[in-house]
Amino acid sequence: MDLPPRETLTEGQDERLLQVRLACPDITPACDLARAFADVVLHQCGYLLLEWIRQAELDAPKPMKGFAGFLPQDLDAVTACLTLPWSSGIIEGQSNRVKTLKRAMYGRPSFELLRTRILTQP
């Protein structure tokens, strides 16, 4: 589901959202929390994460409470991800490439062949 910023909704979309919120009052806290979490991620405001977790544990529907409940288990890493400009994406991509090659070569007899394929493939 795409969650566009509230200010980018057309008048019809905004009206439809209001109708849905009125028809199903339980969706209002979930929608507000989803938007707040999107803001934390988009604006890299990791310092707001703990407050978001507390709010989700109080107001959110059960699936969102479950998500919020797991975040504190690795809070330092999640906060760093939402605060720091660095990413391990390149390393993860290379690791994924090597694992894919390894799986494709399963049953082949030689480590040297695997090594050659890893070093020669872009």
**pLDDT tens-place string over residues 8-39:** 888 998 899 889 888 988 888 888 899 899 99
On whether both 76 and 31 belong to a single domain, the answer is: yes
Domain count, the chain: 2
pLDDT tens-digit map of 33-65: 998 999 999 889 999 999 999 999 998 888 899
On whether both 17 and 44 belong to a single domain, the answer is: yes
Determine the pLDDT at residue 55: 94
On whether both 64 and 11 belong to a single domain, the answer is: yes
Task: Please name which of 65, 2, 7 lies closest in space to residue 33, comparing C-alpha atoms.
Answer: 65
* C-beta of residue 60 within 8 angstroms of C-beta of residue 29: yes
Domain encompassing residue 114: 89-120
Q: CA 2, CA 94: separation in Å to the nearest integer? A: 29
On whether both 49 and 69 belong to a single domain, the answer is: yes
Q: CA 80, CA 59: separation in Å to the nearest integer? A: 25
Query: Is residue 1 one of the residues assigned to a domain?
Result: no
Q: CA 60, CA 28: separation in Å to the nearest integer? A: 9
Task: Please name which of 100, 70, 82 lies closest in space to residue 38, comparing C-alpha atoms.
Answer: 82
pTM beyond 0.85: the answer is no
Q: CA 55, CA 37: separation in Å to the nearest integer? A: 11
* C-beta of residue 37 within 8 angstroms of C-beta of residue 82: no
pLDDT at residue 3 above 90?
Answer: no
Residue 49 CA from chain centroid, whole number = 13
Determine the pLDDT at residue 26: 80
Q: CA 42, CA 9: separation in Å to the nearest integer? A: 18
